Amino acid sequence: MIKDHKKTQPIGVFDSGIGGLTVANAIFSHLPQEEIIYFGDTFHLPYGEKSADAIRYYSLKIVKFLLEKNCKMIVIACNSASSAAYKVLLDFYEGQALFINVIDPLVEAVANHNEYKKVGIIATKATIRSNIYKHKLLEARPSLKVESLATPLLVPMIEEGFFNDNISDAVIEKYLSNPIFENIDALLLACTHYPLIRKNIEAYFQQKVKIYDSNDVVVHAIREKLQQFDLLNDSTPKPPKFFVSDYTTSFEETTNFFYKESIDLEYCPIW
């Protein structure tokens, strides 16, 4: 039960790096009244290469930091953290904030399409290893054929700024040409970094495969939950704040890509 929260409190968003900025930007675009506090754990990126225990530890520490910033809601803008840490975060911080993960809204959006016979999933090693997408999709649609592939080069490639160019196209083609993706109806981009290469992926499939990322469906889930608890901000918000556990130029450059004004970026070594 959420008690004593105010509409004007910020929404906390976290990820291992720049990927969650796609989610933060979607919130900024669709819910402009909401103040955002973003934490990028650039010291430990990518989470997809870490153990589940390590991801849970990082997530607990980051959420503690965001709660100290008085956040009314925590958005786990990372599929690896959503799969490994969501339940643990609820257990530890129950009642202190609302929580949204990026997995459940995406699964629901795809499972509702009964015309889909076969779907593909690309994600980090940690997310694929958890098998959470396949499990949840088959729980909702037992007849659905689900094919999953770990794509570990994509996150570091994106973090280093190699997207929408020949390098990214070559890596994407290498992964998506895998025979398991033949005749898929839809592809889930089960990593919040991947919307930054969505156009490349759509081009590879020549617009013949429906591509899903979590941004719009997660914003819808955020809006619904805030409305449920009467916490939608209806006043003028403060500008977003960005914290990183290790300063990287790629993080600042990507943040400036989304937010054209000068940003409030602070190095915050919480470890």
Domain of 124 in residue numbering reads as 104-214
Asked if residue 143 and residue 183 are part of one domain, the reply reads yes
- 78 catalytically annotated: yes
- 191 catalytically annotated: yes
Asked if residue 206 and residue 109 are part of one domain, the reply reads yes
Catalytic residue chosen out of the listed positions 26, 74, 75, 78: 78
Q: What CATH code is carried by the domain that includes residue 108?
A: 3.40.50.1860
Asked if residue 71 and residue 128 are part of one domain, the reply reads no
Cα 103 from Cα 76, distance rounded (Å): 9
DSSP state of 205: T
Nearest to 192 by CA among 270, 117, 105, 96: 105
What string of pLDDT tens digits covers the 271 residues of the chain? 566 899 999 999 999 988 899 999 999 999 999 999 999 999 998 898 899 999 999 999 999 999 999 999 999 999 999 999 999 999 999 899 999 999 999 999 999 999 999 999 999 999 999 999 999 999 999 999 999 999 999 999 988 888 778 888 999 999 999 999 999 999 999 999 999 999 999 999 999 999 999 988 999 999 999 999 999 999 988 899 999 999 877 788 888 777 766 677 899 988 8
Asked if residue 177 and residue 157 are part of one domain, the reply reads yes
Asked if residue 220 and residue 209 are part of one domain, the reply reads no
165 within some domain:
yes
260 within some domain:
yes
Cα 174 from Cα 178, distance rounded (Å): 7
Query: What is the total count of domains within the chain?
Result: 2
Question: pTM for this one?
Answer: 0.91
Residue 18 φ/ψ region, left for φ over 0, alpha for ψ in the -120 to 50 degree band, beta for the rest = alpha
24 within some domain:
yes
Of 214, 230, 255, at which residue does a domain stop? Answer: 214
Catalytic residue chosen out of the listed positions 75, 106, 191, 265: 191
Strands (E), 20-89: 36-40, 73-76
5 within some domain:
no
Asked if residue 26 and residue 97 are part of one domain, the reply reads yes
Asked if residue 94 and residue 36 are part of one domain, the reply reads yes
120 within some domain:
yes
Length of the chain: 271
179 within some domain:
yes
Asked if residue 190 and residue 160 are part of one domain, the reply reads yes
